[in-house]
Structure 1
Amino acid sequence: MSTDTLNVESIDVEALKASASKASALLKSLSHSDRLLLLCQIVGSGEACVRDLEQSTGIKQPSLSQQLGVLRENGLVNTRREGRQIFYSIASEDALAVMQVLYQRFCATDE
């Protein structure tokens, strides 16, 4: 057996299960096309208000509010209120890392 071969006995299966569960929850949150579209817009701008998200994505109320609510509940976005406007930004480092790859692969446009 080479030194590069993974020793199966050294794997902490319980830690791996916990990590898999966390990754699965993140991917479940990202598995809706409107949520991905919203997150792509937020990643691209760094922060976006509800009005701008509605205009840029074409997602209308109440679906927009519902999908932003799911992202909030799952800890993927932060909110900031300025007067009557609510601004959204990415809250989760894990979601940001995944979204950066997805943004580069699927959201960014060639200019």
Structure 2
Amino acid sequence: MIPAAEAAAQLMRSLSHPQRLLVLCALVDGEKSVADLREELGIEQVPMSQQLMRLRADGLVEARREGTTVFYHIAQGEALSVIQAMHTVFCAPVSKTPGGRRERS
């Protein structure tokens, strides 16, 4: 159980930066180019490169080059499962109930 806890803690450290989390959420549905990620997320080149470098170093994403274009995808099944769960909880459409409370649909 100790090695699993260490691996989980490392994954949580990798996910603890908002831009890294955004990148992983954008990749939850599959591979995207750096240009597509930048456009979708509104992250400038330098911070995007830094976050992708960290995600690669942590083994969460892998890159594939096609000509001058670099494509990224989530490399770990564990990371994908966690990101999908977080996406369901935090990114699902929100609606208001008649009493004014916010409710996820």
Range into which the TM-score falls when normalised by the shorter chain: 0.7 to 0.9
Kept in 2: contact 1:40–1:107 (CA 8 A): no
- The structure-2 alpha-carbon separation of the partners of 1:108 and 1:47, relative to structure 1 and needing over 3 Å to count, comes to farther
1:63 aligns with 2:47: yes
- The structure-2 alpha-carbon separation of the partners of 1:109 and 1:56, relative to structure 1 and needing over 3 Å to count, comes to farther
Deviation at 1:107, TM superposition (A): 3.1
> Runs of 5+ in structure 1 lacking a partner?
1-15
Structure number with the bigger relative contact order (C-alpha 8 A, sep ≥ 6) is 1
When normalised by structure 1's length, the TM-score is 0.80
Greater helix proportion: 1
Alignment size in residue pairs = 94
Counterpart residue number, 2:9? 24
User: For 2:45, what is the secondary structure of its paired residue?
Assistant: coil
RMSD: 1.2
Amino acid in the other structure paired with 2:23: L
Larger radius of gyration: 1
- The structure-2 alpha-carbon separation of the partners of 1:56 and 1:109, relative to structure 1 and needing over 3 Å to count, comes to farther
Give me the whole-angstrom Cα distance separating, in 2, the residues matched to 1:102 and 1:69: 22
Greater strand proportion: 2
> Runs of 5+ in structure 2 lacking a partner?
95-105
- Report sequence identity in percent: 48
When normalised by structure 2's length, the TM-score is 0.84
Kept in 2: contact 1:77–1:90 (CA 8 A): yes
Amino acid in the other structure paired with 2:5: A
